[in-house]
């Protein structure tokens, strides 16, 4: 039987697809109408998604899945259209619906060709991302995982920069390699679990009750973990990300950093670790070592970037390494910090890409050397830039501080020296971000092209106010987010440690 509120998740999946259909049914020349339809459907999707926080539907003290809808989908395969949320996914759903209308607001000047198709691609991408977060069936999850790939490929390949084809093809190749290996592992688990359960199924909750032999766990975990590590991206599988970020339009970069990268860390926690706990326990320290290498490497490479967008892209490699380190600790502090940092990174790094996009729209360059002294010209834009930068470097009082502190606390209990090395990434983050901020905004205006820059427009105010407000709110009231996560995190950790199987 469907649970109370089970209509909410299918509704938020259907709304963006419905919007994409409406957009494609309008005349190609009506760009204002296309943008209006896109904004309308993304705002409605966000408002509907807030219903998942309604106490009448979602109880934050319960560890299990809620708002569950379970409908038989492919009977011969045993696959169900099964959706639900818990403390691990509920805020990731809200993050996705929160960022999408802000992202579309930023496309007013940057996207001027094939606007109808662009809006449709963004809406389909939203459904894919939301579906991956709420899917409770492995085959359904895989379908949504692949659905995300197509519109992002188009966003980079059609509306990207000069090297857009190279970046989009590289993105697809990396992602597809991991995805196909994961599909093979899904079918292996499907067959082996069917022998144990007496019926074939891809239902996640049923599969979590099955313990595979250690050797099988190792191979299946490797396949799942590789797919998710590529998406994070974890060092040394990160090389697709800077190219994708630099060549993608601003909207693509915001969604890529804000949501898509979280698919990797979410996938590790939701699927790879609890499905194959023995293998996860064995490989976690090795993954943690790669995460720390990525933290330091990403920070050092970010420090020498001449392009603001590429700097922020490499900062994501470093910051997501911190998230993976917290997941690998497999304790409440580390995992809770990691989940919270997924949300924090989505807001603050998404905000950074918005600001870089605003500057690029004005000057048509992202080179740091082309700026300098613009604080005197666009003080309001720079003020928003400063607050988002402070959130990104984990300044106390801003959202990033809470997540990184919990991660380091949890990881230190497992690997003190390794965590100490990883903690240098926090220091280096302040170095490269504040140095970039200083060079762009302070000093004398040496380039005459910067003297006539326009400050924030009403549309840009509408983007910056919610983003900055969320950075501050999440920094001063973290318990609102952390408490609902805790029961589900404890349950997941118990599954990884073999309790309750």
The mean pLDDT value for 309-322 works out to 91
Alpha-carbon distance values, 76 to 46, 201, 221 (Å)? 35, 10, 26
pLDDT digits (tens, 9 = 90+) for 227-254: 999 988 888 888 888 888 888 888 888 9
Query: DSSP secondary-structure letter at 73?
Result: E
Q: What is the mean pLDDT of residues 92-109?
A: 89
Question: Is the residue at 419 inside a domain?
Answer: yes
Region 173-181: mean pLDDT is 87
Gap between the terminal Cα atoms of the chain:
24
- For residue 433, is it within any domain? yes
- Rounded to an integer, the average pLDDT of 128-142 is 93
Name residue 137's beta-bridge partners. Answer: 203
Residue 501 lies inside a defined structural domain of this protein:
no
Is residue 259 a part of any domain in this protein? yes
Burial class (CB in 10 A: 0-12, 13-18, 19+), 473: middle
Q: What is the pLDDT of residue 34?
A: 86
| Tokens (6 digits) for 408 | 């380091």
Task: Reply yes or no on whether the pLDDT at 124 is more than 90.
Answer: yes
Write out the residue range of the structural domain in which residue 59 sits. 8-496
State the pLDDT at residue 499: 58
CB atoms within 10 A of CB 323: 31
Q: What are phi and psi of 322, to 5 degrees?
A: -65, -40
Asked if the model's pLDDT at residue 453 lies above 80, the reply is yes
Q: What is the pLDDT of residues 279-302, one digit of tens each?
A: 999 999 999 999 999 999 999 999
pLDDT at 420: 92
Number of domains in the chain: 1
User: Residue 198 — pLDDT band, cuts 50, 70, 90?
Assistant: confident
Q: In the prediction, which pLDDT does 1 show?
A: 43
Average pLDDT in the chain: 89
Q: Is residue 287 part of a domain?
A: yes
State yes or no: pLDDT of 303 exceeds 50.
yes
The answer to whether residue 1 is domain-embedded is no
Q: Which three-class secondary structure state does DSSP give residue 84?
A: strand
pTM summary value:
0.90
Judge contact between 246 and 161, C-beta under 8 A.
yes
Angle at 223 between CA 210 and CA 342, to 5 degrees: 90
Query: Which residues 6+ apart lie within 8 Å of 180 measured at CB?
Result: none
- Please state the rounded mean pLDDT for residues 296-312: 91
């Amino acid at each position: 039987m469907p649970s109370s509120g089970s209509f909410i998740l299918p509704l938020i999946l259907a709304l963006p697809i419905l919007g994409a259909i409406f957009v494609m049914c309008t005349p190609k020349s009506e760009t204002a109408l296309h943008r209006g339809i896109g904004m309308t459907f993304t705002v409605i999707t966000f408002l509907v998604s807030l219903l998942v926080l309604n106490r009448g539907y979602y109880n934050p003290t319960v560890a299990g899945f809620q708002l569950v809808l379970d409908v038989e989908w492919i009977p011969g395969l045993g696959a169900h259209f099964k959706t639900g949320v818990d403390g691990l996914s509920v805020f990731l759903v809200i993050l996705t619906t929160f960022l999408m209308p802000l992202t579309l607001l930023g496309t007013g000047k940057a996207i001027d060709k094939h606007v109808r198709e662009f809006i449709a691609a963004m809406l389909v991408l939203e459904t894919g991302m939301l579906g991956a977060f709420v899917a409770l069936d492995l085959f359904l999850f895989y379908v949504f995982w692949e659905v995300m790939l197509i519109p992002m490929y188009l966003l980079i390949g059609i509306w990207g920069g000069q090297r857009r084809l190279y970046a989009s093809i590289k993105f697809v190749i990396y992602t597809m390699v991991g995805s196909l290996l994961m599909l093979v592992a899904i079918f292996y688990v499907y067959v082996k679990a069917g022998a144990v359960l007496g019926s074939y199924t891809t239902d996640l909750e049923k599969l979590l009750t099955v313990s595979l032999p250690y050797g099988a766990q190792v191979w299946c975990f490797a396949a799942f973990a590789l797919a998710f590590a590529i998406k994070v991206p974890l060092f040394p599988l990160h090389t697709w990300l800077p190219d994708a970020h630099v060549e993608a339009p601003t909207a693509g970069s915001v969604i890529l950093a804000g949501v898509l990268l979280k698919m990797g860390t979410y996938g590790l926690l939701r699927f790879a670790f609890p499905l194959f706990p023995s293998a996860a326990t064995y490989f976690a320290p090795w993954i943690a070592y790669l995460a720390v290498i990525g933290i330091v490497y990403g920070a050092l490479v970010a420090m020498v970037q001449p392009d603001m967008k590429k700097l922020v892209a490499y900062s994501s490699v470093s910051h997501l390494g911190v998230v993976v380190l917290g997941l690998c600790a497999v304790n409440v502090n580390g995992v809770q910090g990691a989940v919270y940092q997924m949300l924090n990174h989505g807001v603050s790094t998404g905000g950074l890409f918005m600001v870089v996009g605003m500057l690029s729209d004005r000057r048509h360059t992202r080179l740091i050397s082309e700026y300098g002294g613009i604080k005197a010209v666009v003080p309001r834009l720079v003020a928003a830039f400063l607050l988002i930068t402070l959130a990104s470097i984990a300044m106390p009082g801003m959202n990033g501080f809470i997540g990184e502190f919990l991660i380091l606390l949890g990881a230190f209990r497992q690997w003190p020296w390794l965590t100490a090395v990883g903690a240098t990434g926090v220091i280096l983050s302040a170095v490269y971000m504040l140095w970039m901020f200083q060079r762009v905004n302070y000093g004398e205006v040496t380039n005459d092209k910067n003297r006539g820059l326009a400050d924030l427009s009403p549309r840009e105010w509408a983007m910056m106010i919610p983003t900055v407000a969320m950075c501050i709110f999440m920094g001063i009231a973290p318990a609102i987010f952390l408490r609902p996560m805790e029961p589900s995190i404890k349950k997941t950790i118990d599954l990884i440690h073999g309790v309750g199987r």
